[in-house]
Amino acid sequence: MSAQPIPYTIRRTVRWGECDPAGIVYTPRFLDWVLEAAESFFADVAGVDWFHLNQRDGLGSPSVSTQIDFHKPIKHGEPFTIEVLVRRLSRSTITYAMRGRNQAGELCFSAALVSCIIDNARMKSVSIPEPIRARITEYQAATAALLEGETRP
Amino acid sequence: MSAQPIPYTIRRTVRWGECDPAGIVYTPRFLDWVLEAAESFFADVAGVDWFHLNQRDGLGSPSVSTQIDFHKPIKHGEPFTIEVLVRRLSRSTITYAMRGRNQAGELCFSAALVSCIIDNARMKSVSIPEPIRARITEYQAATAALLEGETRP
Amino acid sequence: MSAQPIPYTIRRTVRWGECDPAGIVYTPRFLDWVLEAAESFFADVAGVDWFHLNQRDGLGSPSVSTQIDFHKPIKHGEPFTIEVLVRRLSRSTITYAMRGRNQAGELCFSAALVSCIIDNARMKSVSIPEPIRARITEYQAATAALLEGETRP
Amino acid sequence: MSAQPIPYTIRRTVRWGECDPAGIVYTPRFLDWVLEAAESFFADVAGVDWFHLNQRDGLGSPSVSTQIDFHKPIKHGEPFTIEVLVRRLSRSTITYAMRGRNQAGELCFSAALVSCIIDNARMKSVSIPEPIRARITEYQAATAALLEGETRP
């Protein structure tokens, strides 16, 4: 994790095929980006990718809830970033807070995603295993100031 | 609208390609379904499809916010339904409340979607035009009892 | 299978989110439709859905190759059909020939898809099991006249 | 174009949500990648992005045909590359040849895509405008050796 920038940030460009006939990003694509950001964060910061989590550890990370607020359109072809923060870490759930910004740094969308760690065989939530918890806790501590006073989802 | 069942309901089956390697629906696909349900509702109940709204009327319906709560997995191949209700109609926004249910009628997910009607050329919100407002208001009245006491998004 | 129309036909409408900023269907969505048509055909005509084929029988049906020719645009909101034919059935592969038509019956796209039945554990092709082969052979016989003299993929 | 590596190459990782319940890439996602590669190539090598081509120049680039051959599975999480070559440049069409390779350099899939440049208003093919033609011709010359003797699509 030490090699990761703070906050953990995805860089992306809006694709032609992600836009609808009105020329703006088709709403569901934002949730694709949120999940892709969570996937990358999990692999890079929590230290295990979802495939190994499932195949090797028998654990899944289904979503409990998600919320996205759209503030400002992102233009086709324009680079944008998604910052991934962790608002809350409970026994078995992780609450992500994400911020999508355009090149000027303006907030374009904010998102929350609650994921739960489950035992795939029993389909029951389980305690987030160490060292995943340790790594996320460390990241959360390093980025806590970025969520202070925030009222975004 | 009189020919539409009350509440307006989409019937769907979970596709193979909508599921991830854990064998469950990949989270972003739910937002695809929510938007598809809103699109169908708009064409069938509000009386104009999004393409004509854009091309003929110069109006768009971008999303302001969305929220999805996941209650129970839907299995691959299993038919499910999405009921579309309207929680709120303001000057320029429509707040949809949707309920996804499996064949046994159990609530699998609930969703909110706030859409705004805008003038595409000026990118500014406008009053929802008659007769769209009239049709949605009529539908809202006919289905109001279904949202009473609900605390879902 | 006896209850299925001949040829096996999918009915679909072009969705808003399937179109790109030029207002036409974004090319990759056609391959989504081809795979969805193959999935439905397999469940309805071959008699087993892909989920059971994988989970219960330990068999997969990866794609070997695909080809799509685009003849005529399909407009947003316009209903269209996809007819599914079987051009060839070998020991372990099925070669589908599909025809997409608009409401006027005009050919809008034609597609080929070669799928192979494999043993998931060994990742090796296997003989297509009875009664899947029997059902597809029966369907192929009933629809052979529709492919005669065709030079489409 | 001079700043682009030869051949023009996309670097990508297989996403969790791009895989199906059998744990392999869901077939239609390959065509998403092919179109994304063509989009990037057009912006970086031909020198104009599809959005400007449409909005500013009134030109579109619909697909005429596509073909994909699948040779070897790409594993989830594994980085892979797509090389973009131009097999043929006619008055109004571009025939791309693409090669998907895993980290070991093994050929995993090969694809062809024929795109046509059209006048959006008249929906008619037009001559590929200079300097787009000049740039693609120059690229084609610089990479011709890579397609010699190839029988892939």
Size of interface B-D (CB pairs under 8 A): 26
Q: Tell me which amino acid residue B31 is.
A: L
Interface mutation vs chain D, best among C66, C72, C110, most D CBs within 10 Å: C66
Residues from chain B that touch C35, judged by Cβ atoms under 8 A, are 16-17
Residues 6+ apart with CB under 8 A from B104: none
Contact C79, C122 (CB under 8 A): no
| Rounded mean pLDDT, A70-94 | 94
Please tell me which of the candidates C31, C64, C120 has its beta carbon nearest to residue D28: C31
| Confidence grade of residue B4 (pLDDT, cut at 50, 70, 90) | low
The predicted-structure confidence for B57-81, as pLDDT tens digits, reads as follows 999 999 999 999 999 988 788 899 9
Q: Please give the pLDDT value at position C59.
A: 96
- Test C35 with B17 for CB contact under 8 angstroms: yes
- Test C60 with D26 for CB contact under 8 angstroms: no
Asked whether the predicted pLDDT for residue A43 surpasses 90, the reply is yes
| Rounded mean pLDDT, D49-59 | 94
Residue (of B88, B64, B36) closest to A68 by Cα position? B64
Q: Please give the pLDDT value at position B147.
A: 87
Going D16 to D27 to C91 to C5, the CA torsion angle's sign is positive
CATH topology of domain D8-143: Thiol Ester Dehydrase; Chain A (3.10.129)
Residues from chain A that touch C26, judged by Cβ atoms under 8 A, are 16-17
Q: Which residues pair with A63 in a beta bridge?
A: A115
- Test B65 with A66 for CB contact under 8 angstroms: no
User: What's the start-to-end Cα distance of chain B, in Å?
Assistant: 25
The predicted-structure confidence for C3-60, as pLDDT tens digits, reads as follows 567 899 999 999 999 999 999 999 999 999 999 999 999 999 999 999 999 999 999 9
**Cα–Cα–Cα angle for A126, A146, A5, nearest 5°?**
80
Contact A63, A105 (CB under 8 A): no
CATH 3.10.129.10 fits B8-144, yes or no: yes
| Confidence grade of residue B3 (pLDDT, cut at 50, 70, 90) | low
- Test D35 with A43 for CB contact under 8 angstroms: no
| Rounded mean pLDDT, A16-26 | 94
Query: C-alpha distances in angstroms, A123 versus A38, A120, B72, B110?
Result: 21, 5, 11, 20
| Confidence grade of residue D53 (pLDDT, cut at 50, 70, 90) | very high
Interface mutation vs chain C, best among D24, D25, D26, D27, most C CBs within 10 Å: D27
Residues from chain C that touch B39, judged by Cβ atoms under 8 A, are 15-17
Please tell me which of the candidates D64, D68, D120 has its beta carbon nearest to residue C70: D64
Residues from chain C that touch B23, judged by Cβ atoms under 8 A, are 51, 55
Order of strands, sheet of A59-60, starting from the edge strand that comes earlier in the sequence: A59-60, A118-119, A124-125
Residues of B at the A interface (Cβ-Cβ below 8 Å)? 21-22, 24, 26-28, 30-32, 34-35, 51, 54, 60, 62-70, 73, 120, 123
Asked whether the predicted pLDDT for residue D2 surpasses 60, the reply is no
Contact A12, A80 (CB under 8 A): yes
Task: Give the residue on A whose Cα is nearest the Cα of C21.
Answer: A21
Task: Give the residue on C whose Cα is nearest the Cα of D152.
Answer: C65
- In angstroms, the separation between the Cα of residue B36 and the nearest Cα of chain C is 7
| Rounded mean pLDDT, D127-134 | 96
| Confidence grade of residue B138 (pLDDT, cut at 50, 70, 90) | very high
Residue (of C65, C47, C61) closest to C125 by Cα position? C61
- In angstroms, the separation between the Cα of residue A16 and the nearest Cα of chain B is 17
Residues from chain D that touch A51, judged by Cβ atoms under 8 A, are 16, 23, 76-77
The ipTM assigned to this model is 0.94
Task: Supply D144's token pair.
Answer: 């011709």
| Domain boundaries defined on chain A | 8-145
Asked whether the predicted pLDDT for residue D1 surpasses 50, the reply is no
Query: C-alpha distances in angstroms, B131 versus B48, B84, B93, B136, D61?
Result: 10, 19, 15, 9, 37
- Test C39 with B17 for CB contact under 8 angstroms: yes
Q: Please give the pLDDT value at position C1.
A: 44
Interface mutation vs chain D, best among A11, A16, A20, A26, most D CBs within 10 Å: A16
Task: Supply B145's token pair.
Answer: 């009892």
Output the 3-class SS for chain D: CCCCCCCEEEEEECCHHHECCCCCECCHHHHHHHHHHHHHHHHHHHCCCHHHHHHCCCEECCEEEEEEEECCCCCCCCEEEEEEEEEEECCCEEEEEEEEEECCCCEEEEEEEEEECEECCCCEECCCCCCHHHHHHHHHHHHHHHHCCCCCC
- Test C67 with D66 for CB contact under 8 angstroms: yes
> φ and ψ at B39, to 5 degrees?
-60, -45
Q: Please give the pLDDT value at position A3.
A: 53
- Test C16 with A20 for CB contact under 8 angstroms: yes
> φ and ψ at A135, to 5 degrees?
-70, -40
**Domain at A8-145, CATH class:** alpha beta
**Domain at C8-139, CATH class:** alpha beta
